[in-house]
Each structure stands twice: as C-alpha cells, then as structure tokens.
Amino acid sequence: MSNSEELKIKIATQLEKYLPEGFSSMVAELFLPIPVKFKIVNPRNTKLGDYRPANNGQPHRITINGNLNPYAFLITTVHEFAHLQAHVRYGRYIQPHGNEWKKTYRELLLPFIETKILPKEIENALINSLVNTKASSCSDIDLSRVLKNYDQQNDDYVLLETLPINTKFNLQGKLFIKGQLRRKRFICEEIHSKKKYLIYAIAEVIPIFEN
C-alpha cells in the first residue's frame, strides 16, 4: 500500500463520525493533492468554516465548526477546499467567491451529488444551488433550510421568519425586536444599542413573549 493510500485511509477514519455514511473516503481524497492543516473547532457564530492560504511557512489551513450536522459538515468542507484549490490554481488575487471559486466548487461538489446517496431533498437543493452559487450555504436560504432539517432539535429555538413583526427575541445573547423583511433578511433593532441589523430569515432565535 502506498503512502498516499495509507494517509487517505487514516484521514477517512478520523472524519467518519462527522460525515454522512459513504463519504469519508471521497472527502479524504481532497487532502491528498495539496498539504493542508485541517482542524475541527468550537462553533463560531459568524461562520461555519474558514480557509487561510499558506503564508510565512505555515501551510494552507481549513477550520470547520464541530457542531454541524453531517450534511452541513460535508458541504462546508467541500466549500473550503474549493477556496484552497482555487487559490492554488488561479492565484491569490482572485475574488473570494468569484467565478474561479464558483467553478472550482462546482467541480468538487458534482461527484458527491452524482453518488445518488444523498437524501433527495439535499441533492435537489444542491443542484439548484449550483445554478447560482452563493458565497455560503447560509446565504442560500433554500439549501440552508433543507440542511436545518438534519440538525438536532432544540425546543427553545424557532426560526426568525416564524415570529410576528415586533416580537422580541434573543440571538447570541443580545435582545432584538423583529422588523420588516428585506429580501431574505429581516431588519431588526438591537434593543440596547438601538442599532439596526439584517438577520437571516432562518436564523435560530429564542422568542421573548411578554404578558
């Protein structure tokens, strides 16, 4: 067995518990062409994953939130490897989610879709997303809504879009009042600062109902 095959098996074994069944070997192949430091990290509120190019002797680095459901983990990982490959292929001055990244992302994602072992609703959402690829699965409301079906349920949280206008809610420890919809996000006022924020319609929030 070659060194690359041994490495692939080792990586696949380590990733199995984070990925849907049947995909660990395919994901492990993404690690082989270009050295990369891959780390599973504590959840971050502002992003699901992150890519940093090689710099000052440091290798390419990818981090993925460890609390993602298996399908979100898979798609986010492919997303970040597309950044890595686009950077290497086209250079450092490309737009982060420009045409070069979109082309690379589609090329990497299609083999996973073509396995036909993804749930049909996720397969369809991914195919639709490739028509107009967004910067992230969070930006693609339809894909994000489908992926949320596979999250662990928490009865304390609801989707912002289900609350009436002017309802107070807690998001990441801050209190807001829900305002009007602007495209796919609601204009919400943070109660303490009075600042306005655009919050995704499918953000998970804790409603505050007052007597």
Domain with 194 in it: what CATH number?
2.30.30.30
Question: What is the Cα–Cα distance from 138 to 203, expressed in whole angstroms?
Answer: 9
- Phi and psi at 85, nearest 5°, equal -65, -35
Domain that holds residue 87: 3-148
pLDDT at 188: 96
Please report whether residue 153 resides in a domain.
no
Q: CA torsion 103→43→34→110, rounded to 10°?
A: -30
pLDDT per 10-residue tile (average), the chain, 211 residues: 87 96 97 95 85 93 96 96 96 91 94 96 92 59 87 83 95 93 90 92 86 64
Starting at the earlier edge strand, list the strands of the sheet with 196-200. Answer: 158-159, 204-208, 168-171, 174-182, 185-190, 196-200
Examine the domain organization and report whether 79 and 181 are in the same domain: no
pLDDT for residue 10: 95
Together in a domain, 99 and 195: no
| Same domain membership, residue 142 and residue 60 | yes
Tokens 């599973």 found at: 40
| pLDDT of the residue at 57 | 87
Together in a domain, 95 and 133: yes
Q: Beta strand 60-65 with 36-41: parallel, antiparallel or unpaired? A: parallel
Domain-terminating residue out of 119, 148, 177: 148
